[in-house]
Structure 1
Amino acid sequence: MDPETENVVKLISPGNIPDNWQENPDFLNYISKLGSYGVEQLVKEPDHLSEEAAAILEQTQELAFTNYKTFIQTAECSREIFRQFENTEARLDDLVRKLPEFAERCRRFGRASGDVGRRRRLNSLTLTRSARLLEVLELPQLAETCVSDGRYEEALELAAHARRLGARHGQIPVVAGIARDVEAARLGMVHRLLSQLRSSDLQLPACLQAVGLLRRSGLLSEAELRLKFLQARDAWLQGLLAGVPSDDANQHLSKTIELTRIHLFNIVTQYRAIFSDEDPIMPSSKEQNVNEVLIFYSWLTEKVSQFLAALEQDLPRVGSGSLDSLLGQCMYFGLSLGRVGADFRGLAAPPFVRAAERNFERAVRGAAARLEGDLRAFALAGCPGAPPRAAPQPSQQDGPPRSLLEFPPLAEYCNGLAGAFNELRLCAPAPAARECTRALQASLRAAAGAARALHRREQQALAPAGREQLARLCAALGGELAPYAQRCLHAVFPPAAVARHLGLTAQQLQREGVTYLNQTEILAPISHLLPVTTELPPVTNMVSGEDGDQKNHAPAEVMPELNK
């Protein structure tokens, strides 16, 4: 609108004119037309406008009357259109609210579609390389099959391949799982090899192969491998020893010595062939201060200690007649182990010494106990008189005194001592001389005590003949039986040999009472019963030949008729 038109508008209508009129072309044309009117026309213009408005109103009313149906339909259509526009606007608002969620879902669908595409490509690639993937996936099953079939070399190769795969592609879960399963199969192979070492008598080649496979497995260090080998072989040896019947102590100990000697020496031989102790010890960073040499010698010391403990346990139940053979087996066993630096013969001797002492002491104590029982039932009045005694012949002095036949209890006691010496003679270690001397002296003193008890019991009812018989019994005990026991003791333990063993002289042996009986102490209980005129031979006499040299005669049993 130009400035002149605006001035005209302000003159016509000083008030505000609606904005929509200012831009209306009809309004602007009408204003321009008014500007071209004269005064008369301007004066007439209001009437003209009133007439024209009345005509238009009349026409409008006529039009409305004529077309009222159309107006009604138009109003209804307008109202319906307005309602539909409102509904459309509400739906558009709802659509606007849901558009962000729809856009997010579209983005997620796009990402999922991309993942599906990648997976499809991976599946296609997997399908094209399925043969190689199948080989990798079957590694655990193949390793287990190799281990169960005993093909340990192939199992180790598969384990090495699986470790390389795990180191290269360990971030892939499937590959990591395959590596774990193959590692478990390798561990199972180690357990099978150790079980094989524990459960069978393997020769050296088989042991070399098993230990080589264990070393190649890499699961055990050198010290652990040595320890596991010794533990496995020891478990097998202990199983053998546990299967030995223990009813008969002699058979049990003999079989134990034999099995231990054979198999322990085999284990030692196998160990020294498999593991070299000649190389300098070079401890690794994981095993500081591990002396691998001491593992073997500690184990071997333990085995020797266990064997000596078995000796200590079984020897008390073994008879004297078997000690000699068992001692020979032990000495041979110790000699064989001496070749590997484990000679234990010095440790095996004391149990046999104690067993010999124990058996001899039990035998002579039993003989003394039987003598006490026999003398309690012995009647002096019923004994026949003794024939005059002739001088003993040299040949008779080596055997039991025949004068003991006058007194059956003494003869039985002499037989008991002779039997004890016969058993001791088979295995008579020199260190047992002191205890055997003590046991024999205690037995002879107990025999003298039994004779004194007989005198106390019978002294009130003894006749002169009975007193004479009792005096002869005591004289036979002190003058015949005790010297015979001394000769037997020197025959089993020659003083010269015992003195050399102990590093003493014969005089020192006699002073200390080793292999020499104390006659005074033995006969002290019956000293008052011995005949005054009887000269007893010294109990320390030894069996001598014509040249004065000692004879090592074994004691002979009393003649069989003494047992009747």
Structure 2
Amino acid sequence: MDFENDRISKLIFPNGIPDNLKNDTELFTYLDKLGTYKIEQLKKEQSRLADENRAIVEQTQDLAITNYKTFIKTSECSKKISDKFKETEESLDKLIGILPNVTKKCQDFIGTSSEINTSRRLNSLTLKRNAQLLEILELPQLVDTCIRDGKYEEALELAAYVQRLGLKHSSVPIVNSIVVTIEASWHTMLKQLLGQLKTDLQLPKCLQVVGYIRRMQAFSTAELKVVFLRARDDWFMQTLSNIPSTDTHQHLMKTIELTRVNLFNIVTQYKATFPDDEAAKDRFGSTIFSWLHRKIENFLQTLEVDLKHGVNSIDSILGQCMYFGLSFSRIGADFRSLMVPIFVKVIFNQFQNGIYKSTKQFEVDIETYTLINKVIINNSREKSESVDTAPPDSLLDFHPLAVYCNGILTSLNELRHCAPIALAENVTNSIQSSLESIAVFILNFYRQEQQAFATNERANFMKFCSCFAYDMIPYLQRCLHVVFEPAAVTNYLGINEIALQKAGITFLKPKQIMEPVQHLLPDKVETIVQNSEKKILEEVKV
């Protein structure tokens, strides 16, 4: 059928189907219908179509004439509709032109309204959570109050809460500002705690304060040890600086007491605060004992300075110091051996100063001494021998010898209260040198005055020399043995008395002393020396 329709359409439309009829379905229906006609019908079809066309034209004309008014109105309506469509088109163009602005305005409004809505929601939530927010905002003030009132436990808990809050809400500015404020208060609290370490603290309070500092995590363990010792050292030094220094004896006694008590307390507090476990033993030793070593050195310096200035009773000072050093043996810091050289040096210097003054005084006295009209007591030696520790009465006849002997006795009496055996040799040598100097002064006096001596003056001078050789030297030897008993010295040194005498320890050397004046004595010097040495040996044996 399609092929026949194509052939028919090519016969009817040699130039092809017009464009306005290509999509017309009635054309193909008519062609199908036309294909069914017979020849007679096809011959008549053209005239039928012309008649039908003419009838349609006539009907159209009759319709137009009859309904011309309707056509006119329809035309006018069509024109008006066309105008309205143009106006509508123009309005739509304008609307399309302003739609982007309207869209932007609407979007802006939507954004603004969203912000307003968010702010309103936040304000509502803030009003609803006002109490909780107020508590958070008052945290810095609350921490400051706790710190001022000394409630460090509560302050630490609040600070820990703020720290957790800051980590959880680090993006919130107000929370960050609270954290910064709390950190400032944190430093204030740390400063106060360190200040408390610089006060007089008992062990429980000290442990509590160090516990607070450790919980603050401001220092490592090693740093905390150093900070602790520095703070306690500041308090300790302040305590020592408050001791009055007007009285040297009282200053030294108070220094010994406070140093012993406070140093022991600080070491105890340190060991309780930082337990000496196996892992930290070396660090402990290098921290506390190095500090304690410096404090002991400072004490020894103070001890030496005050002892040089002079004290009332050096034996009581020595007893306190020995007790001080012994008490520190409980913590492994017995330093008594460090104090011994200081006391030995000071005691010997005091003794030597006394001997020097006595020697210089004898030099002054012998220069102004006169032998005219001297009344001599003949039995002075016998009287002096009756009392072993009493000075010979013969010394009263000769003022320079009496004053000198009294000075030596004063020095020996001061030494006797606290006489270290280690000074036996030095004391003996000091007295030996002084007596040798006295012998030289006597010889110089004789050389200066011998030309002017009268008979009685020469006799008195001989008795002066005899008193020096026979009475004063043996008496000073006995006094020296009272201070340093030979038995005690031999036990200390582990030698016998003969070796002790040969070494010249606690034994004077009369021959060497009397050598400058041997020619001035009434008897030969050998006899005098032998008698003196024999007497000394007899006294030692007794």
Give the TM-score normalised by the residue count of structure 2: 0.75
Q: Residue 460 in 1 paired to residue 460 in 2? A: no
Q: Residue 380 in 1 paired to residue 374 in 2? A: no
In 2: Cα distance, 1:155 partner to 1:301 partner:
38
Q: Counterpart in 2 of 1:291?
A: 283
Q: Counterpart in 2 of 1:332?
A: 323
Q: Residue 168 in 1 paired to residue 168 in 2? A: yes
Q: Residue 401 in 1 paired to residue 392 in 2? A: yes
CA contact (8 A) 1:433 1:493 kept: yes
1:311 to 303, 307, 315: 303
Q: Counterpart in 1 of 2:186?
A: 186
CA contact (8 A) 2:381 2:392 kept: no
In 1: Cα distance, 2:459 partner to 2:519 partner:
13
Q: Residue 538 in 1 paired to residue 526 in 2? A: no
1:112 shift after superposition: 6.4
1:116 shift after superposition: 5.2
The 1:517–1:455 alpha-carbon spacing in structure 2 relative to 1, beyond 3 Å, is: same
The 1:409–1:109 alpha-carbon spacing in structure 2 relative to 1, beyond 3 Å, is: farther
- Structure 1 segment 248-263 matched on structure 2, within 5 A: 248-263=247-262
CA contact (8 A) 1:398 1:543 kept: no
Q: Counterpart in 1 of 2:137?
A: 137
Q: Deviations over 1:253-310 (max 9, x none)?
A: 1111111122222222333333311x22169xxxxxx713421111221221111111
The 1:421–1:390 alpha-carbon spacing in structure 2 relative to 1, beyond 3 Å, is: closer
Structure 1 runs not aligned, ≥5 long: 1-95, 284-289, 551-564
The 1:235–1:456 alpha-carbon spacing in structure 2 relative to 1, beyond 3 Å, is: same
In 2: Cα distance, 1:363 partner to 1:386 partner:
29
In 1: Cα distance, 2:293 partner to 2:351 partner:
31
1:192 shift after superposition: 1.1
Q: Residue 301 in 1 paired to residue 300 in 2? A: no
- Amino acid of the structure 1 residue aligned with 2:250: Q
User: Sequence identity, in percent?
Assistant: 45
Q: Residue 352 in 1 paired to residue 343 in 2? A: yes
Q: Residue 242 in 1 paired to residue 241 in 2? A: yes
The structure that is helix-richer by fraction is 2
Q: Counterpart in 2 of 1:227?
A: 226
Q: Deviations over 1:422-480 (max 9, x none)?
A: 11000001111222122212221222222122212212211122222222212211221
CA contact (8 A) 1:490 1:542 kept: no
- Amino acid of the structure 2 residue aligned with 1:133: L
The 1:447–1:280 alpha-carbon spacing in structure 2 relative to 1, beyond 3 Å, is: same
In 1: Cα distance, 2:537 partner to 2:397 partner:
24
1:168 shift after superposition: 1.6
- Amino acid of the structure 2 residue aligned with 1:427: C
The 1:464–1:218 alpha-carbon spacing in structure 2 relative to 1, beyond 3 Å, is: same
- Amino acid of the structure 2 residue aligned with 1:330: C
In 1: Cα distance, 2:376 partner to 2:201 partner:
75
Partner of 1:383, secondary structure, is coil
Q: Counterpart in 1 of 2:489?
A: 498
1:111 shift after superposition: 6.0
In 1: Cα distance, 2:468 partner to 2:108 partner:
122
CA contact (8 A) 2:139 2:158 kept: yes
The 1:386–1:393 alpha-carbon spacing in structure 2 relative to 1, beyond 3 Å, is: closer
Q: Counterpart in 2 of 1:125?
A: 125
- Amino acid of the structure 2 residue aligned with 1:303: K
CA contact (8 A) 1:487 1:541 kept: no
Q: Deviations over 1:526-545 (max 9, x none)?
A: 23322234743425855867
Structure 2 runs not aligned, ≥5 long: 1-96
Q: Residue 525 in 1 paired to residue 516 in 2? A: yes
The 1:140–1:331 alpha-carbon spacing in structure 2 relative to 1, beyond 3 Å, is: same
CA contact (8 A) 2:384 2:391 kept: no
Q: Counterpart in 1 of 2:29?
A: none
2:442 to 438, 446, 451: 451
In 2: Cα distance, 1:541 partner to 1:101 partner:
139
The 1:467–1:124 alpha-carbon spacing in structure 2 relative to 1, beyond 3 Å, is: same
Partner of 1:459, secondary structure, is helix
In 2: Cα distance, 1:211 partner to 1:437 partner:
57
In 1: Cα distance, 2:233 partner to 2:344 partner:
29
1:395 shift after superposition: 3.3
Q: Which has the higher contact order (CA 8 A, sep 6+)?
A: 1
In 1: Cα distance, 2:494 partner to 2:148 partner:
66
In 1: Cα distance, 2:478 partner to 2:326 partner:
34
1:102 shift after superposition: 12
Q: Deviations over 1:304-334 (max 9, x none)?
A: 1111111111111124x51100000001111
Q: Counterpart in 1 of 2:204?
A: 205
Q: Deviations over 1:391-411 (max 9, x none)?
A: 467533332122111101111
In 2: Cα distance, 1:456 partner to 1:143 partner:
94
In 2: Cα distance, 1:196 partner to 1:416 partner:
55
CA contact (8 A) 1:483 1:540 kept: no
Give the TM-score normalised by the residue count of structure 1: 0.72
The 1:389–1:322 alpha-carbon spacing in structure 2 relative to 1, beyond 3 Å, is: closer
In 1: Cα distance, 2:236 partner to 2:220 partner:
24
In 2: Cα distance, 1:104 partner to 1:203 partner:
76
1:360 shift after superposition: 0.6
- Amino acid of the structure 1 residue aligned with 2:288: F
Partner of 2:390, secondary structure, is coil
In 2: Cα distance, 1:489 partner to 1:104 partner:
121
The 1:125–1:544 alpha-carbon spacing in structure 2 relative to 1, beyond 3 Å, is: farther
Q: Counterpart in 1 of 2:91?
A: none
Partner of 2:278, secondary structure, is coil
1:170 shift after superposition: 2.1
Q: Counterpart in 2 of 1:475?
A: 466
The 1:470–1:122 alpha-carbon spacing in structure 2 relative to 1, beyond 3 Å, is: same
In 2: Cα distance, 1:415 partner to 1:231 partner:
53
In 2: Cα distance, 1:118 partner to 1:549 partner:
116
| 466-475 vs 530-539, which moves further | 530-539
| 334-343 vs 268-277, which moves further | 268-277
Q: Deviations over 1:171-201 (max 9, x none)?
A: 33322221222222223222212211212x2
RMSD: 3.0
In 2: Cα distance, 1:538 partner to 1:255 partner:
49
Q: Deviations over 1:494-548 (max 9, x none)?
A: 2232233334443443333222222233223323322234743425855867xx7
- Amino acid of the structure 2 residue aligned with 1:162: V
